[in-house]
Structure formats: C-alpha cells, structure tokens
Amino acid sequence: MLPPLPSVLGLKKSFGFGDRLGLATPGHLAAANKWDFAPIFAQQSVREMERTRRTPVEVLAAAQSALAAASYTKPWGADADHHKTPEDIDKTAAAGFTFYTIDPSAFVNNEADRLSATDLEAAVTRLVVDNIFAPGWREEYQGRSFAVSEFLTLQFTPEQLARAAVKYGRALAHCATLASHISQVRGGEPFEIEVSVDETDAVTSPLDHLFCGLELKRRGVSIVSLAPRFIGEFEKGIDYRGDLGQFEAQLRDHVAVANHCGPYKISIHSGSDKFSIYPIIGRLCGDLLHVKTAGTSYLEALRVVARTAPALFAEITAYCRGCFDQDRRSYHLSTTQAEIDALPAYRDGQDEARFLDERVGRQLLHVTFGSVLTKGLDAKGRPFKDSILEQLRGHEGLHKEVVEKHFTRHLQLLNQG
C-alpha cells in the first residue's frame, strides 16, 4: 500500500497526537478508532524538531508508515506546529504538511495593558506610521456593538480598542504575511491555518479574541482554528490548575466569538492530560474543537522503558535532574528546582507512579526530552535515544497498549461532554 497522504479536515472536531519518537502512531490510531475525532497523526513544532533533531520529512514519514501498515484509509491531518518564519514554512510545506499553526508571539506587545494613556496613544500612532493600520482604522470598531451570540454582546471602549490594537496589531500583520507565504508555497494544494495567541503574558479576553478574529478576517486570513490563552494554568504534562467555573464561563464566550468571526474551531494548546476540563470542553465546543497534545506520548514511551528496562529508566531520571534548570526555561511550569532536588532517586521497578503520574516527576521528564534524546548517554556510552527506541521496538505490543489506554482516557472524557 502506498503511504497515505494527509488532508485538510475542515470544521470537524479534531485531535492532534504529537509523537517525538516516531513510534506512537499505532497506539494513537487504536485510540482514535474508538471515537469520531478527526485525527492529526503527524504533529511536531519547529522547536520540538530542533530538540529531537528530526526533520519534517521524518515526522511525516513515521506517521505514514504506521498508517500504511494498518491499511488506514480515512482522512487524517499533518500539523506543522508553531511556525514563526517563512523559512519554517518552506521546510514543512516541502514535506507535505497540510495544517499550519502560526505563532506570532514574538510580535505581541505584552506591555500594552500597562502603558500610560500618553504612551498608549503614541504606540497607536506608530502602528499607523508603520502601515500596520490605515488612517481611520478605528471607525471599524468604535461605537459598534457586536452581538456575538444570543447571550453575549461586546463593545470596545476607546481605551480597550487601543490596547487590543497595540497588543496584537503587529502580530496579526505577521499572521497575514505568513498566511500569504503558505498559500504561495502550497501552490494551489489545500491547506488549513491555525493562529496561536496562547503563548502570551496575559489571558486572552473575549474582547481580545473578538479583535483578533475580526482583524484576521479583515486582512483576508481564513483560519480553521484559533488558540487563545485561557484563564487558569495549562502546564505541560499535568491537569488543569484553576477554577473550573471561571474556565467554563470564559470558554463559552470564546466559542461564541469563534462562531461569530468564523466559524472556526477553538484550539486547546498544552491540551494533554487536562482531564478535569475535558467534559466542559467537549460540551461547549462541540465540533468547533481542536485539542493539541505533544509530550504526553513521550512520557508513555518512558513508561514502557520503566517497565522493561528499569535500570535504563533510572539512568534517564538521574540525567534529567542535571538538565532541568536549563531546559525548563522555555516552558511555563510550577515545578521548582527545589522540588526536583527533593525528589527521591528512582528505585528500580518501584517508583513508576512517582515519576510518570505525579506532577514533579512528570514535569522533570517532560521538559528535558530534548537533552535526553540528543545529548544523553547511558552507562555504556550509548545514546539514550537509541536505547529507548530499542525498548519500544522490542515491546511494540506494550507500547501500543499504554499509548492507546492513555489517549482513550483523553478522548472518552472529551466525548463525555
């Protein structure tokens, strides 16, 4: 069977399965087959590809190979995640990815909410001088009420409009530039775009979201999904931390805005292991939902190592301690170095839960994946990555079983909503 090609998925609820090692697709597929989510089986960000030293071609080929072996013929997607530059896009487009997540975080002005009135107006003027907005642009928004749903009407005050423009104006212009580049390099082939504004300092308010959605539409950027930064904490590898009632109320407003401006899907980034809010997400979003996961599949691979080669797993956990302080800097985490220092050493075969089910151990292993997979050596001087892959290939059944179980829980709770 020829390798199946990824396709666009449209406005159908979807789920992204990140795979940092290239061997998790059989487990992902087994879980996906139980539910009606449109699957994205190839998904890896530019940052993750750099840290794992994988190419877009390798990421896509790993998924294709597993799907061909399973004679899979249904639609599936390939997410070129967190793209910031045209050069990023060139590489993933050449490989054949169909879904492009634009990350304009470098252009978001996180100081906008704290600027004085004088500095704020100066910043707005600069946006016009730099051709981010045309003169008179405020007339599109000022004095208008936006009935985004039967229960929600939004209106910008002059100050709110100015702060939204200063915060997101350059980022949205960058999105338009990258969207145009994607269209060019795809050469008429279908593609989908997601815009991510989740990696910002402040929570994305429904009014912020409305501004982004309307501006993207005005600039001719058609999106299939948008990822806000939600209230509460979406940390890597652990459950949601925050008030469930507040999250539900805000998500309801975001869904209304997405329907009004698109419709497009709400995308949940750092979406793995957020079990407490999955029923809420599934109930409120319906088909306008995309959930993105990444490192949790890597942790399930390490679970296989813990069960089949506990001595190797002990070496990996010890190595990770020395990398944590450096590797954690590009992630938002609650786990501290003091907690890592206080974590008891792994005891062969006895501490799986401590390292793979509890916050401190999971985040230790989660954020240090790049160091483990590209620099770490076992006691015999062999790269950790080679030893990990050997265990996974030698225990394919167990690997599929633990990955399938883990993602069945994800999808079951999302459908419970």
pLDDT tens digits for 46-82?
989 999 999 999 999 999 999 999 999 999 999 999 9
Write the DSSP symbol of residue 107.
Answer: G
The answer to whether the CB of 76 falls within 8 A of the CB of 7 is: yes
- The pLDDT of residue 1 is 63
Q: Which of 81, 192, 300, 315 is catalytic?
A: 81
- Going by pLDDT thresholds of 50, 70 and 90, the confidence category of residue 330 is confident
Chain centroid to CA 3: how far? 26
- Going by pLDDT thresholds of 50, 70 and 90, the confidence category of residue 209 is very high
Neighbours of 240 (CB within 10 A): 23
pLDDT tens digits for 88-102?
999 999 999 999 999
Q: Identify residue 191 by its one-letter amino acid code.
A: F
Give dist(CA 233, CA 259) in Å, integer: 25
Domain 14-109+158-295: top CATH class: alpha beta
Average pLDDT over residues 286-315: 97
The answer to whether the CB of 23 falls within 8 A of the CB of 393 is: yes
> Hey, is 5 helix, strand or coil?
coil
Average pLDDT over residues 111-138: 97
Residue 186 has pLDDT above 90, yes or no: yes
Question: Which run of H or of E encompasses 340?
Answer: helix 337-342
- Going by pLDDT thresholds of 50, 70 and 90, the confidence category of residue 350 is confident
Give start and end residues of each alpha helix (H) in 156-225: 158-186, 206-218
**What does DSSP say about strands 192-196 and 99-102: parallel, antiparallel, or unpaired?**
parallel
| Residue range(s) of every CATH 3.20.20.70 domain in the chain | 14-109+158-295
Give dist(CA 255, CA 286) in Å, integer: 9
Q: Identify residue 405 by its one-letter amino acid code.
A: K
Is 386 among the catalytic positions? no
Q: Which of 194, 235, 253, 300 is catalytic?
A: 194
Average pLDDT over residues 278-293: 98
Rg (CA), the chain: 22
Residue 231 has pLDDT above 70, yes or no: yes
Q: Note every long-range contact of 325-332, with CB atoms under 8 Å and residues 24 or more positions apart, other chains counting.
A: 326/371, 327/367, 327/368, 327/370, 327/371, 328/363, 328/367, 330/47, 331/235, 331/236, 331/367, 332/233, 332/234, 332/235, 332/236
Is 352 among the catalytic positions? no
- The pLDDT of residue 161 is 98
